[in-house]
Amino acid sequence: MSEKYHNNFLKEVEEMVEEGEWVKMCMQCGVCAGSCPLGPHWAHPPQEIFMMIRAGKREEVLRSDSMWMCTSCYNCVVRCPRKLPITHIMHGLANYAHRLGLSPKNQPTQQFATLFWNNLAQTGRVNELKLSLGIYFKDGFAQGVKNAMAMQSVGLGMVKAKRLNPMELFGGHGVKDKTGFHAMLKKAKEIEDRRKNFA
Amino acid sequence: MADMKVAAYICQGCGLGDRLDTAALAGVAKKEGKAALVREHEFLCNAEGVKMIRDDIANEAVTHVMIGACSRRAKTEAFGFTDVAVSRANLREGVIWCQPETDEARETTQEMAEDYIRMGCAEVKKMTLPEGNPAAVTERTVLVVGGGVSGMTAALEASKAGYKVVLVEKSGALGGWAAKLHKRSPGKSPYAEPQDTPVADMDAAITADANIKVYLNAITSKTSGSPGQFEIEISTESGSTATEKVGAIIQATGFSLYDANNLPELGYGKSANVVDQAGLEALAKAANGGVIKRPSDGGEVKTVVFVQCAGQRDDTGKHLPYCSGSCCSTSVKQAMYFKDSNPDIDTVVIYTDLRMPGNGEDFYRSGQNKGVTFTKGKVSSVEAAGNQCKVNFHDLILNDQTAIDNADLVVLATGQVPNSGVDIDTKLKADIAAAAGDNSLLEAYNASQAEGAVQPISVLNLTYRQGPDVPQLKYGFTDSHFICFPYETRRTGIYSAGPVRRPMDMVQAMEDATGAAMKAIQAVENAGLGRAAHPRSGDLSFPKVRLEGCTQCKRCTVECPFGAIDEDEKRFPVFNESRCRRCGTCMGACPVRVISFENYSIDTVGSQLKAVDVPDEFSEKPRILILACENDAYPALDMAAMNRNVYSAYVRIIPVRCLGSVNTIWINDALSSGYDGVMMMGCKHGDDYQCHFVKGSELASYRMSKIGDTLKQMGLEEDRVATFEVAITDIERVPQLINDYAAKIQEIGMSPLKGF
Ligand code: SF4
Ligand code: SF4
Ligand code: SF4
Ligand code: SF4
């Protein structure tokens, strides 16, 4: 359990989260919170997330959907007078929460991110058709058909402009050395798990 | 002095010759000004023009020179004749630059110029050359009261500049607050780590310095005299007394921490584990780099909470209302004591605003780097529970009413209270009111003294009539003019430096002390030459009193902002030359007008205003007299003119040393000789005063508030006399003020007193 305003959780973040060692440098000026175009739409702007980490609010932070709402616009990073890599920390926190299985279920950004990763990890290239369909159908078959119908004209337009190949549905193209690619991903995961003490 | 011979010089340069009929001006100087010698010159300030004047002084026995050219603030070197009395008629800034260059304006512009010539001639005739005091003496030793870092710095700096120093410290050792510190906040790049204090080095330097004489366990029990010739009695604990003669004094008596006993809600006095910043320094010193122990039981400190603004920046009226400006960096430093010995110790600083002046920002960043947690919040209470404390606070970022449950140590940042001695201002205000017939303040003051409240102990024990210490500003910090001359108190030759002047950290205190040392040296040197200190530095004139006429009313004694006037046994005023700043406030105060300067007197101003040609009632040309303070208002007028900001041609402006020097007789004279209005322009007064003579403009507006009766007796409207606060930057505003006032006078109509 992390205690209030003690450094346990901050230390955890410093060790486990990408760029987490920057959290202590936040001087609470609120510039990031004011700069974030999505700020008003989520529970905790970066400023608050950083204070919550320092206040030891482990559960609240890791279960928050705030990090998932970051659109990577980098407004905050550009403006932060303390030069915190805020966007990276937000993504690092999201990733960490996801790995711990604490991130909010059914969070759309998270779902998309998972789909995207799985899609990419299969062949080494993004299969746009499968990715789009995966998103359309994430909430069940009927909703999927509805989504696909709604996007029909866009899809056809893309096919015509040769931005989308219907044949991708059957297998699709990938990197040359798929086995090597998978071995590489496995190794990378091993290294990261070891470094961050994930079993 | 030989017989008076007045020469008037009219310049034609800078466009004066084109815009004005200088021959007519010369005629005015000759006929009405009765100048024995009148010359026009096409370029008076050039070598040839100046030489012409010089030659006249040498060959024609000219004793009084009237220069009709640019403002008296311009060409001061060229026209700085020290062997004759000089007056200046401001034809450039005062006339052609502030008047429109049109045919219609020609007549009134010329009238303005002619009046200024009349005024210049009238003034110079009433002037004599200030002689200074050939007998002025000076002691070149500087007294420093207080042996902390400020005092030690002042002593060492004065000594480095070649002056002898006497240093008086009331405790048994030098070092003051700094000596109590384990380490100091960094004073040099990279501002990342606490440093050793400079006390040991400075102490050694002082011991090795033959120019510095140190008295420990000693106080200044009696201070008499004036700049250049102070006499100091130094009493030691053992009862012995020494006497020292010094030329200037630096008070560097520092501060005390605000008493944490006033903060029981923050746990002080309830738990041994709640300490103030001094308490923590003591613990750190005892640990000497090792582990800092919990006071209650010597246990390990694992969590320490720093409470900022404890009893400071308080708006309830119970505690200090101001920020002490140094406690934040002290807390960062103290948190580092813990982090540096063991990074696992939790150190939380709870602040409302973290204020790290100067390079403190780098130090703050360094604290963050070391893992000190900074939390913006407001602590509501600290509860003791066994050997730990619960700190209840409102997290202002998370808007969370929360608590740290298990603090082993709580450190309160309680802030600085100046050690400035006795507050003499309340008494002074009461005295001034009493002299004006209102005894209520004095009675209230006496009552407050009788209640048996603990009175502060005097630091300087001045034998001045005005009280034993230097005056204080808001919150008890010693007097100083924040904008124009820091360090300079209202007691000439006595400077204050360091946290006794305003709250500050060690870096600032050392800078302050160096500045004060330089000022003290200036005072010593000026006193030796019989010259005034800032802002009229170099002035050799000095108030002369015709004591036969003095009614012993004590107005001058009480109103002199600088405590320059004492009383003799017969209760006559005694003017102390080297304490005097030549502001003329005494001259303005004296109801029987027996005080004057050689070159500035009731007569020099009075005859100027009477020299103005006041047109009759039917001319539709009103006359408005402006008495403008030479420190801010007159420069602002000059600068307005440089920007060609036009103002009414009906005003006639006379510079005065300070509004405090304005004697109400001038107002009476002006009104009875037919002026339609009088404008007075002085500096801002009140707590955030800008008045160079501190109280002058305030006293003037006080006196003028009483002028209503006089106006009534004369059958005049109250609006005929108006006072304005003007800053040197009011270049646009001043012409506007003048024009608005001129319009108002137009509205009221011409004065009924014309032609009497
Ligand atoms: S802008 Fe930077 S320093 Fe300011 S609150 Fe955001 S993260 Fe903190
Ligand atoms: S990068 Fe993310 S957190 Fe930063 S401003 Fe953009 S959306 Fe907000
Ligand atoms: S001129 Fe000013 S300082 Fe000097 S004695 Fe008069 S009031 Fe005091
Ligand atoms: S104000 Fe004038 S009359 Fe009064 S004590 Fe001073 S010198 Fe004498």
ipTM above 0.90, yes or no: no
CA distances from B41 to B24, B51, B81 (A): 14, 11, 18
Who contacts B668 (Cβ-Cβ below 8 Å, separation ≥6)? B710
For an interface test with B, which of A1, A3, A7 has the most B Cβ atoms less than 10 Å from its Cβ? A7
State the first-to-last Cα distance of chain B, in angstroms, to the nearest integer. Answer: 37
Domain for residue B159, yes or no?
Answer: yes
Distance CA B694, CA B24 (A): 43
Number of helical (H) and strand (E) elements in chain B, helices listed first? 21, 29
Q: How remote is the C-alpha of B212 from its chain's centroid? A: 29
What separation in Å is there between the alpha carbon of B670 and the centre of ligand 3?
A: 24
- Nearest neighbour of A54 by CB, restricted to B354, B373, B405: B373
Per the listing, tokens 């920390």 go with A89
A-proximal residues of B, 271-310, CB under 8 Å? 303
Give, as one character, the DSSP assignment of residue B672. H
Same domain, yes or no: B387 and B313: yes
State the first-to-last Cα distance of chain A, in angstroms, to the nearest integer. Answer: 20
Across A123-132, B566-575, B594-603, the highest mean pLDDT is recorded for B594-603
The answer to whether the CB of B434 falls within 8 A of the CB of B444 is no
Chain A: nearest CA to B387, how far in angstroms?
18
Side chain identity at residue A72, one-letter code: S
**Which helix (H) or strand (E) element contains residue A160?**
helix A152-160
**Interval B273-322: pLDDT, tens:** 999 999 999 999 999 888 999 999 999 999 999 999 999 999 998 999 99
Ligand 1 pocket: which of A48, A86, A89, A90 to mutate (most atoms within 8 A of CB): A86
Same domain, yes or no: B411 and B489: no
Inform me whether the pLDDT recorded for B726 exceeds 90.
yes
Give, as one character, the DSSP assignment of residue A104. P
Domain for residue B548, yes or no?
Answer: no
Distance CA B460, CA A60 (A): 61
Residue nearest atom 2 of ligand 3, based on CA coordinates: B583
For an interface test with B, which of A51, A61, A84 has the most B Cβ atoms less than 10 Å from its Cβ? A51
Same domain, yes or no: B248 and B156: yes
Distance CA A170, CA B161 (A): 92
What proportion of chain B, given as a percentage, has pLDDT over 70? 99
Ligand nearest to the CA of A94: 2
- Nearest neighbour of B398 by CB, restricted to A7, A24, A55: A55
* Ligand 2 atom nearest to A45, measured from its CA: 3
Give, as one character, the DSSP assignment of residue B488. B
Side chain identity at residue B360, one-letter code: G
User: Binning pLDDT at 50, 70 and 90, where does residue B756 land?
Assistant: low
Q: How remote is the C-alpha of B530 from its chain's centroid? A: 21
Same domain, yes or no: B225 and B268: no
Distance CA B403, CA B394 (A): 8
The answer to whether the CB of A138 falls within 8 A of the CB of A111 is yes
Same domain, yes or no: B412 and B271: yes
What separation in Å is there between the alpha carbon of B229 and the centre of ligand 3?
A: 18
**Residue B595 in contact with ligand 4 by CB distance below 6 A:** yes
User: Binning pLDDT at 50, 70 and 90, where does residue B491 land?
Assistant: very high
Distance CA B118, CA B125 (A): 11
**Of B416, B449, B478, which marks where a domain is finished?**
B416
Q: Which of A77, A80, A83, A28 is nearest to A53 (CA)?
A: A28
- Nearest neighbour of B402 by CB, restricted to A4, A47, A54: A4
**Residue B573 in contact with ligand 3 by CB distance below 6 A:** no
Same domain, yes or no: B12 and B99: yes
Dihedrals phi, psi of B304, to nearest 5 degrees? -130, 135
Same domain, yes or no: B194 and B265: no
Q: Which of B377, B200, B194 is nearest to B280 (CA)?
A: B194
Distance CA B476, CA B258 (A): 13
CA distances from B555 to B383, B566, B685 (A): 57, 12, 20
Distance CA B224, CA B462 (A): 6
Domain of B301: which CATH number? 3.50.50.60
Domain for residue B621, yes or no?
Answer: yes
The answer to whether the CB of B679 falls within 8 A of the CB of B625 is yes
Omega cis (within 30) before B190: yes
What separation in Å is there between the alpha carbon of A41 and the centre of ligand 2?
A: 12
10-residue mean pLDDT profile of chain A (199 residues): values are 83 94 96 92 94 96 94 96 96 94 89 91 88 85 86 88 82 86 94 79
Q: Looking at per-residue confidence, does B617 or B347 come out higher?
A: B347
- pLDDT the model gives residue B688: 82
DSSP-based three-state secondary structure for B723: strand
Beta bridge mates, B651: B624
Distance CA B252, CA B326 (A): 17
Tokens of B698: 């305030």
The answer to whether the CB of B486 falls within 8 A of the CB of B480 is yes
Distance CA B5, CA B38 (A): 11
Who contacts A177 (Cβ-Cβ below 8 Å, separation ≥6)? none
What separation in Å is there between the alpha carbon of B83 and the centre of ligand 3?
A: 24
Same domain, yes or no: B309 and B273: yes
Q: Does any CB of chain A come closer than 8 Å to the CB of residue B388?
A: no
**Interval B508-535: pLDDT, tens:** 999 999 999 999 999 999 999 999 988 8
What separation in Å is there between the alpha carbon of B480 and the centre of ligand 4?
A: 27
Q: Does any CB of chain A come closer than 8 Å to the CB of residue B361?
A: no
**Interval B631-684: pLDDT, tens:** 999 999 999 999 999 999 999 999 999 999 999 999 999 999 999 999 999 999
Inform me whether the pLDDT recorded for B745 exceeds 50.
yes
Chain B: nearest CA to A197, how far in angstroms?
21
Counted across chains A and B, CB pairs separated by less than 8 A come out at: 51
Beta bridge mates, B307: B350, B412
Cα–Cα–Cα angle for A91, A97, A101, nearest 5°? 140
A4 contacts in B (CB within 8 Å)?
402-405
Domain for residue B451, yes or no?
Answer: no
The answer to whether the CB of B750 falls within 8 A of the CB of B617 is yes
Structural domains of chain B, count:
4
Find the mean pLDDT for residues B703-719.
87
Distance CA B75, CA B95 (A): 17
* Contact: A54, B375; criterion CB under 8 Å: yes
Domain for residue B11, yes or no?
Answer: yes
Tokens of B191: 């501002």
Dihedrals phi, psi of B552, to nearest 5 degrees? 60, 35
Domain of B4: which CATH number? 3.40.50.960
Tokens of B701: 């507006």
B-proximal residues of A, 133-192, CB under 8 Å? none
Q: Which residues of A71-87 are buried (b: 16+ CB within 10 A; e: fewer)?
A: eeeebbbeebeeebbbb
Same domain, yes or no: B365 and B275: yes
Q: What is the largest CA-CA distance in chain A?
A: 59
Inform me whether the pLDDT recorded for B231 exceeds 70.
yes
Q: What is the largest CA-CA distance in chain B?
A: 97
Q: Which residues of B543-554 are buried (b: 16+ CB within 10 A; e: fewer)?
A: bebeeeebeeeb
**Of B416, B448, B481, which marks where a domain is finished?**
B416
Q: How remote is the C-alpha of A173 from its chain's centroid? A: 25
Chain A: nearest CA to B409, how far in angstroms?
14
Distance CA B405, CA B438 (A): 58
Tokens of B727: 């800053």
The rounded radius of gyration (Å) of the Cα atoms in chain B is: 31
Same domain, yes or no: B226 and B294: no
Same domain, yes or no: B645 and B511: no
Who contacts A160 (Cβ-Cβ below 8 Å, separation ≥6)? none
DSSP string across A43-54: S--HHHHHHHHH
**Interval B147-191: pLDDT, tens:** 999 999 999 999 999 999 999 999 999 999 999 999 999 999 999
DSSP-based three-state secondary structure for B370: coil
* Contact: B398, A48; criterion CB under 8 Å: yes
Q: Does any CB of chain A come closer than 8 Å to the CB of residue B402?
A: yes
What separation in Å is there between the alpha carbon of B88 and the centre of ligand 3?
A: 24
CA distances from B402 to A30, A57, B378 (A): 21, 12, 10
Q: How many other C-beta atoms are found inside a 10 Å radius of the C-beta of residue B42?
A: 13
Q: Looking at per-residue confidence, does B578 or A169 come out higher?
A: B578
- pLDDT the model gives residue A1: 47
Ligand nearest to the CA of A28: 1
Q: Does any CB of chain B come closer than 8 Å to the CB of residue A43?
A: no
Residue B689 burial (CB < 10 Å; 0-12/13-18/19+)?
A: buried
Q: Average pLDDT over chain B, rounded to whole?
A: 94
The rounded radius of gyration (Å) of the Cα atoms in chain A is: 20
**Residue B582 in contact with ligand 3 by CB distance below 6 A:** yes
Same domain, yes or no: B169 and B202: yes
Domain for residue B82, yes or no?
Answer: yes
* Contact: B405, A4; criterion CB under 8 Å: yes
Beta bridge mates, B626: B653, B679
Q: How remote is the C-alpha of B331 from its chain's centroid? A: 33
Distance CA B268, CA B262 (A): 8
Chain A: nearest CA to B338, how far in angstroms?
14
**CATH code of the domain occupying A2-103:** 1.10.1060
Distance CA B756, CA B250 (A): 56
Inform me whether the pLDDT recorded for B124 exceeds 50.
yes
Residue B610 burial (CB < 10 Å; 0-12/13-18/19+)?
A: middle
Domain boundaries, chain A: 2-103, 108-193
* Contact: A4, B371; criterion CB under 8 Å: no
**Host domain of residue B37:** 1-129
Who contacts B698 (Cβ-Cβ below 8 Å, separation ≥6)? B685, B686, B689, B691
Q: Which of B694, B729, B631, B697 is nearest to B482 (CA)?
A: B694
Per the listing, tokens 């024990």 go with B461
**Of B504, B529, B554, which marks where a domain is finished?**
B529
